[in-house]
Structure 1
Amino acid sequence: MSAPHVRSVNIGPGVPSPHTSAPTTGIDKRPVDHVEVRDPGPKHGGLGSGCVGDTIGDRRHHGGRTQAVYAYAREDLDWWAERLGRPLRDGAFGENLTTVGVDCTTARIGELWRVGEVELRVEVPRIPCRTFAGHMGIPGWVRRFTAAGRTGAYLSVVRPGTIRTGDRVTVERPDHDITLLLEFRAATGDRAAAMRVLDSGVLAPEEHDWLAGRLAPR
């Protein structure tokens, strides 16, 4: 078995978005040899993506410090390809990093990934949206993706630099059991999971506030 590594680095130039009110989308990502990554700053008023040359069309809901880089496992793409009955290329889910041998679903919040010269921090799971559903073109995709729980990992940039195809990935796991999958269940309606995640105090402040807002009476 090969060591954990980045199989593909992917970015998406902005193209017109037919699925949402945002004027453009960068979800249709394509492989490149390397990408410069940096902290894009806050979601509102920042640079959008943490990957130079990548586009975040809907900055109200996507991008920013805690969603700077999106990683998805090649193993999970293969799992989906088998069930969908069609091939899925690297970057098919709009991920910046297609990984091999890296857990992108039950990674722990706060886990550190060293990717070449870059250091990334696991922050939150991907919540499926209309743009993703439109890109996939599969009826009921949001519901199906949610049920499967193979979320991929949104990452912040702790140490900027260049990520290249083939870079090794080493992982440093924190001493708690709050995983991306638990946070995903919390974010998609499981109140008991949400309370557990909030009580743990492991989320970045903006993500903690967002999840707490989901629990607040309306």
Structure 2
Amino acid sequence: MPPESAHIVSVQTGAARPLLIGGRRLLSAIGKSPVPGPVAVGSLGLAGDEQADLSVHGGLDKAVYAYPVEHLPFWHRLRRERGLTLFDEPLPHGFMGENLSTEGLLEHGVWIGDRWVIGDLVLRVTAPREPCFKFNAVTGLPDAGRRMVEGVCCGCYLAVERPGTVAAGAAIAVHPGPRGMTVAQAFLAKRIKHLR
């Protein structure tokens, strides 16, 4: 059953830039910052947004990355426990590398193939996000990927079915797809396969 209320909390974009990991300089666009809307969204994602490694992020099926704001307190607590932050301020939107910070759409209730209608924009849920070593480095947590798996807090990728614009505060109307597998089920299935 589609959620009764879901909306965009914040919209983020970011440019690819060098990231130092283990003494190696790698290009990454995981750093996203909030931008004022409305932001144009085309078939390859948001205007002004970049992806550094198109083998895992970006392209037609992973044009937009959405992440539920409901998970941010979990990451904030974990970082405080590890002494990575001194202040009790919430994590900024874009911390997970997401383009869209959403509320009301958690992985167990989001299905692969669902369509999200946001004004004139139509997005289709295609896959869960999988953690990578860059994610561990940016969060400052060497076990961030494992924590993401344990908490099933991955967010999802979306394809752009109809270009349009998006802005913070916009409502998301969910139009059900085939309902064969939730994002959570797809995420856990992929992670179990990788562990074999």
What interval of TM-score do these two structures reach, taking the shorter chain for normalisation? 0.7 to 0.9
| Aligned residue type for 1:96 | N
Q: Report sequence identity in percent.
A: 35
Question: 8 Å contact 1:114–1:170 — kept in the other structure?
Answer: yes
| Aligned residue type for 2:40 | E
Which residue of the partner structure matches residue 133 of structure 1?
136
3-state SS, counterpart of residue 156 of structure 1: strand
Question: 8 Å contact 1:67–1:154 — kept in the other structure?
Answer: yes
Compute the TM-score of the two structures, normalised by the length of structure 1. Answer: 0.76
Higher relative contact order (CA 8 A, sep 6+): 2
1:176 corresponds to which of 167, 176, 179: 179
Which residue of the partner structure matches residue 5 of structure 1?
7
Which residue of the partner structure matches residue 82 of structure 1?
77
| Aligned residue type for 1:186 | A
Distance in 2 of aligned mates of 1:19 and 1:65: 28
- The CA deviation string for residues 88-134 of structure 1, in whole angstroms up to 9 with x for no partner, is 11111000000112234531110000112100000000100011111
3-state SS, counterpart of residue 21 of structure 2: coil
Change (3 A) 1:153 1:105: farther
Question: 8 Å contact 2:66–2:101 — kept in the other structure?
Answer: yes
Distance in 2 of aligned mates of 1:9 and 1:162: 11
Q: Does 1:147 align with 2:150?
A: yes
Question: 8 Å contact 1:121–1:157 — kept in the other structure?
Answer: yes
Which residue of the partner structure matches residue 43 of structure 2?
39
Compute the TM-score of the two structures, normalised by the length of structure 2. Answer: 0.84
Distance in 2 of aligned mates of 1:36 and 1:105: 29
Question: 8 Å contact 2:40–2:166 — kept in the other structure?
Answer: yes
| Unaligned stretches of 5+ residues in structure 2 | none
Q: What displacement does 1:140 show? A: 1.4
1:29 corresponds to which of 28, 32, 37: 32
Distance in 1 of aligned mates of 2:158 and 2:174: 13
| Aligned residue type for 1:15 | R
